Amino acid sequence: MDERFYLGLANELAAKLGRVSSFVSHGPSVGTYHEEVLRSILRHMLPDRFTLRTGFVFHPDRGASQQGDILIVDEYYPGAYFFREGNFAVVAEEALVCVIEVKTNLNGREFRKSLQGLYSFQKATANPHHPLTLLFAYKSSSFTPAVLESWYKSVELPDQLLSYPFAIYALNRGLLYLRHPSDTEWGHCVSLGEDPGGPKLKALSVFLSIIRKALLSHGQVDSNPFAQAQLDGLSWSHQFLKFGSGIYDRPAT
């Protein structure tokens, strides 16, 4: 897909960042507006089968998750909801495809808080119904090794594959992407090869392709949306970022 498409999306997101905060200082209201901006982007890529909600996943035995900002729900599942009022919903695990936490400004505290919230969706679901979990930020502290090391060391979650969001994207920084080359090796890698100035378009194309892949997989369609992503020049750090330990140097192969 043409780079101009992703540039248009990125510019739309960036232009709307902070628009409401020029008039309103109430943090939760500003955050709600920024969630809606991302929803408006996602609606353009969702077929009618899938809708965007906010709320919880619930299981009679495992209880409820924390509240999620954006839930992608399969409306074709007959028992998709335990409860729904407008866009707020309590969703059955079979109908939940993806959970996205949205942050206006990502720092160490918000990073930990978001990961805890996303992990609650994994604790409230079971195979084969664990949802894809993602974190989207309009702005973030720098993705330098020192900053990321401190963030990951401070995370108090089990160092298991299910604890990790599949991707963490910041419009001004790029992507932290989950890789697991073996059953005993996994962690987040940092995207490399972006233009140092401006929004990170290649990483945005990967982030949106990850969502498309989740929809296709949920519908049992074998297709590769990454073929339309802007991957030229994009690469990943060799080091992993691990919860509780920080930067992990993978053995040379």
Tokens (6 digits) for 201: 């378009």
Structure tokens at 202: 């290649």
Convert the pLDDT of each residue in 159-212 to its tens digit: 999 999 999 999 999 999 999 988 888 999 999 998 888 889 889 889 999 999
Higher pLDDT, 248 or 27: 248
Of the candidates 71, 45, 9, which has an alpha carbon nearest to the alpha carbon of residue 209? 45
Residue 247: predicted pLDDT: 95
The DSSP H or E segment spanning 135 is strand 132-140
Element housing 205 (H / E): helix 201-218
In this model, does residue 24 exceed pLDDT 70? no
Q: Does 21 have pLDDT greater than 70?
A: no
136: closest CA among 160, 110, 159?
110
Note the pLDDT of residue 3.
66
Phi/psi at 17 (nearest 5 deg)? Answer: -65, 125
pTM metric for this prediction: 0.92
Query: Which position has the higher pLDDT, 250 or 33?
Result: 33
81-101 per-position pLDDT tens digit: 999 999 999 999 999 999 999
Whether residue 18 is predicted with pLDDT greater than 70 in this model: the reply is no
- pLDDT tens, position by position, 95-148: 999 999 999 999 999 999 999 999 999 999 999 999 999 999 999 999 999 999
Q: Using CB atoms within 10 A of its CB, is residue 151 exposed (0-12), middle (13-18) or buried (19+)?
A: buried
| 53-70 confidence digits (pLDDT tens) | 999 999 999 999 999 999
- Whether 79 and 94 have beta carbons less than 8 Å apart is answered as yes
User: For residue 8, what pLDDT is reported?
Assistant: 78
Residue 26 confidence (pLDDT): 58
Three-class SS of residue 90?
strand
Q: How far apart are CA 96 and CA 218, in angstroms?
A: 9
Is the omega angle on the peptide bond into residue 60 within 30 degrees of 0, that is, cis? Answer: no
Mean pLDDT value across the chain:
91
